[in-house]
């Protein structure tokens, strides 16, 4: 049991430690954004509002696209359910 747990932690530590640079870059970007928000607060708020608006549009388009897939899945489910019923009748 202990050997199994050591293997799990060993794999996790190797995977996380090999991606240290992602954490480092994320920290650099966060610091840069924080400094820019302090130096140019009005422009930063404007950019943030545009970004949120853009993301809401993208999410809305995704919902519209997925609504057609959901309708098609429902139609396919009913057809498959009727096929299965007919085989047992």
> Whole-structure pTM over 0.75, yes or no?
no
Find the range with the poorest average confidence among 5-9, 78-82, 85-89: 5-9
Asked if pLDDT for residue 59 goes beyond 90, the answer is yes
Asked if pLDDT for residue 17 goes beyond 80, the answer is no
| Long-range CB pairs of 45-53, under 8 A, 24+ apart, other chains included | none
Domain boundaries, the chain: 1-39, 41-89
Work out the pLDDT band at 16, boundaries 50, 70, 90. confident
Interhelix angle 2-18/20-39, rounded to 10 degrees, is 50
Determine the Cα angle at 29 with ends 24 and 31, to 5°: 95
Q: What is the rounded CA–CA span in Å between residue 12 and residue 19?
A: 11
């Amino acid at each position: 049991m202990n050997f199994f747990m050591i293997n799990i932690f060993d794999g996790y530590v190797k995977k996380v430690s090999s991606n240290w640079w992602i954490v480092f870059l994320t920290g650099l970007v966060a610091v840069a954004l924080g400094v820019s928000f302090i130096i140019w607060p009005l422009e930063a708020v404007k950019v943030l509002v545009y970004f949120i608006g853009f993301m809401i549009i993208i999410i809305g388009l995704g919902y519209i696209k997925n609504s057609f897939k959901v309708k098609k899945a429902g139609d396919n489910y009913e057809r498959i359910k009727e096929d299965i019923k007919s085989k047992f009748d």
